[in-house]
Homo-oligomer: A and B are copies of this chain.
Amino acid sequence: MYDSVAVVGATGAVGTLIIRMLQERKFPYKRIKFLASQRSVGKSLQFNGVEHKVELLCPDAFNDVDLVIASTPDDVARDFVPEARKRVKAIVDESGYWRMYPDVPLVIPEVNAEAIRKHKGLISSPNCSTTQMVVALKPLHDYARVRRVVVSTYQATSGAGVQGNRDLVKSSQVWLDNNNQYAPCEMETFPYPIGFNCIPQIGSEKERGYTSEELKLLHETRKILGDSSIQVCPTAVRVPVANCHSESVLVETERKITVDKARELFASMPGVKLMDDLSHKLYPTPYHCHDTDDVYVGRIREDISASNSLAFWCVSDNLRKGAATNAVQIAEWIQQNL
């Protein structure tokens, strides 16, 4: 166990939730500090009943730190991690910047915690849309080897941070105030009003017509499951939901998985909760699953268009299991095992 912990990006949406999770889960530590960029320095934070002042994120802030849990924009992570890495024993980074570096384990504790043992000072936590899908895929992969995944996402605006939710609230209110019709409405983060709309672009354009968010669903899945032969066709879509990503997943496997077997596999997977009884209208929705730490799976059925292929629907809180909780779980594993 490491004595001295720092939370980086402590005042952001995910950082705030990391701090809440550390307290709720009784994270073990002796000393803790909270770092952020200049504009948050000096802000007060309550942590386990003690008041802390937010300190400046700079290399020397890490001199007396063992373990870092960080959630920052990619460019901030790019800049602070190399210097911090020289000073601390381990950094758990929630940003996208370092995930695909070969010497950086990309970890979902229920899936590949052992990868943490080989860390060289830096462990990445995956992208939100990848995490929930891979938690659900893991037991299927172990049982029947995943060959191909076709996934269409229904992603919440909180994935675009506090501004994303502001855009959702603003454009929804404009629509309601305008007699349930669209009206021009300037957005901070989205290219078009997101209230009562669906936007089929998340992230920037990358190769072959796919977006950065979509390619994460391919590359991160391969890295976490340790199988570069897995094929993924992703479509990432922003929907007018504040929190919880939903995913429509089709998975082709080397050998057949019956619906009963799939239910058994999901039910025995740590971090997965089964909600699968269509006849009683039981399936996960953001309404049911927000503010929890599990990945919920339902609508499990055999693909009627191909053999050895299974369809399901999964929902998870993108700020919790998709970000804060997963990072804290990695840090907990470090405290217990290293």
Contacts and interface: CB of A to CB of B under 8 A. Distances in A.
Interface in A180-199: 180, 182, 191-193, 196-199
A141 to B, nearest CB: 15
Contact of A278 (B205, B235, B284): B205
Contacts of A281: 191-192, 201
A209 B303 contact: no
Contacts of A299: 200-201, 209, 235
A196 to B, nearest CB: 5
Contacts of A205: 278-279
Given A196-B240, A201-B278, A239-B239, A218 B304 contact: yes
Interface in A227-268: 231-233, 235, 237, 239-242, 246, 248, 250, 259
B290 A182 contact: yes
A237 to B, nearest CB: 7
A306 B168 CA distance: 35
Contact of A154 (B172, B173, B198): B198
A28 interface: no
Interface stretch (A81-89, A144-152, A321-329): A144-152
A209 B276 CA distance: 10
A311 interface: yes
A321 B180 CA distance: 21
B196 A285 contact: no
Contacts of A45: none
A288 interface: yes
Nearest to A312: B235
B305 A231 contact: yes
Contacts of A235: 152, 248, 299, 311, 313
Nearest to A314: B200
B180 A239 contact: no
B242 A240 contact: no
A172 B168 CA distance: 11
A128 interface: no
A197 to B, nearest CB: 4
A148 B278 contact: no
B239 A278 contact: no
Contact of A286 (B197, B218, B246): B197
Contact of A200 (B148, B176, B285): B285
Given A235-B311, A242-B180, A278-B201, A196 B305 contact: no
5 tightest Cβ-Cβ pairs between the two chains A and B: A209-B301, A231-B305, A152-B152, A233-B305, A152-B248
